[in-house]
Structure 1
Amino acid sequence: MKNISKLILALFALVMFSCSVEDVQDRPVIEASDAPVITAPTTGSSYVITPATSDKLLDRFAWAPANFNADVVVTYQVEIAKLTDKEFTKPQLVQSSKTNNVAVTGDNLNKAAIDLGLTPFVPTTVLARVKAVVGTQVIGSDPIEIAVNPFKVAPLLGLVGNHQGWNPAGLTSAYQMKPSAKGNSDFEGYAYLDGGFKFLEADDNLKFDWANVAYGSGGSGVLDAKGGDVTAAAGYYYVKADTQKLTYSLLKQDWGIIGDATPGGWGTSTPMTFDKATNTWEITATLTANELKFRPNNDWPGNFGDNGGDNILEGDGANIKIPSAGTYKITLDLSKSRAYTYTLVKQ
């Protein structure tokens, strides 16, 4: 009886082994034989990405499918690489797809371009390909060349230099410039400068560090990430910079008050004094119960008023009403990037 049982078990094992071998032999061999072929876009296509268009459709990449000699699900990956990296040893992924095309957005191509190390706002030719992946099997299309003009806008620019000891950690609001709107490349600010300085970008966490891009001078009014120091004679300046157009300007300013409430009336500004310790302009003056405004360089361009009566200044805003005659200590604070303010304290 034992011998019969052993014989049955042996026969069963033999049958199972035979079936397993046949199953393995009958399985299709998954092996990449034909690479995908890009049909759109074509070599020479060019893409300019801006903050205003980054979330929109940039282009639709399409390709003829790869062949793996089996009915399998293929993952396709659109990649870019530097022009010298013909083997795609260090590519950046743009977008993935399970079909034979993908809608590429500005955000995704821009991120890939910046991660690849492309210089913002400079058109650069790169290689683009489609890679087909099934398990460990990978095959890539022949690459095409496309030009990408990416953007990267810092949330703030800091004025780091001789005036504050060349200390990125010391870039307080008094030395920060804000963009005209979130994601824009044009910045403005007011700051006391004294000698050489650079425009240092903040990272996405609003941290200033020498590892970030620092723009110097590429000539009069020209920004250059590899340029030398920008220089300014000691004084208070209205500063503008555009990291896309690579331009900057400095306008030295002295501030004063003007209006029928002030000693000079509407005819001439009464000068204020800059306090480097507080980064504010101050004056103690006898005022009448009338109106005043703040203006630089005894001229109207760049003047400030107050539209809401909330001590927050607006360019070319409404006249500021003085409630009653008397002596006032007046402070003008342009050192905060979020809002420009003033105070009137009756003595």
Structure 2
Amino acid sequence: MKTISRYIILLLVPVLFFACNKDGDVITLSNLQESSLTASASDMVLSYDQADALVLSLTWNTDTLSITHSDTYGLAADAMTNTLQFDTLETFDNPKETVETSASKSFTGAALNSFALAMGLKAGVSKTIYARLKSTIGANEAPIYSNVVSFSITPYSLISFLYMPGDVSGGWDNYSVKLCSPASNGQYEGYVEANQWDNFLFTTQPNSTTATVYGSTPNDLYSLDSGSDHWNIWFDEGGYFLVKANTNDMTWSKTAITSFAVTGEFNSWSLTTSPMTYDSVNKVWTATCDITTVQYGIQIVANQDWSFYYGDNDNNGSLDFGGTNIVIDTPGTYLITMDLSNPEKYSYTLTKQ
């Protein structure tokens, strides 16, 4: 272990610098050492059952800095900052950081799952995370790093749903129509076909016994109310809608979908030339397009509005709002089918004719 003593010059304001010269004080600090970092687990497959259980602890030794003349010059003995760094690359090119004040950090299953998803890990896929401790005593001093530890995490999906029993689903005991919150953050959405005056409620479970039930307030159709005296919610017009609900600010909204269209270089990026047709029985949108130019792919645009379109970021058949162009490998005539009935995953298929 190395003991480091340094003159602290840049940390002192000019007044203190003058006092040092006048008094002849030499300020030194010692005991800044590399920490030894350890992890309590190496491979974690997370699940809902572990949400409240302790699944990972990171521990390290702490140094107590010895700073001369700390009373005179206001340099606290706890001037050292410890920061945990996490990255999916061992080179720590873009680490996620947390500043720590103790000698350990613990994660419950729920906390580690959220942390892993925030780092970009995908649910159900194992990924290695690297961690190290960075210790610093000031902006003008190079940090000291601990050893690197690694562990594998397989996170689980945080998806949650709001169910819509009532007229829109075919009965008050039918929970087949639902909205989805991919991050379980209180913000839900889904596509719903409804008739004018169709009544419904939102429920957090596919039942009315254990679920939180949301209706509307008497004076505002679009304000949610979970009290026992709530009113039913209803559609004041019929059609096909993108429905959103926010249980944080207790509101819901609907956007009427008047059209979907396939657009690309093949039709000069027209929003009207290649409209899609809705099949109410199979709950899909379809269009047959002669795609002669494939260089730039295609997009699917709603309501002839370029701020409302779907692409495919991963080229895997899953639609992403505002996503990159859908790839067409070879020219030809294609039946394009879009399925928005599953709010957990909007999807499409390309069938060459």
Which protein is bigger by CA-based radius of gyration? 1
TM-score by length of 2: 0.49
Query: So what's the TM-score if we normalise by structure 1?
Result: 0.50
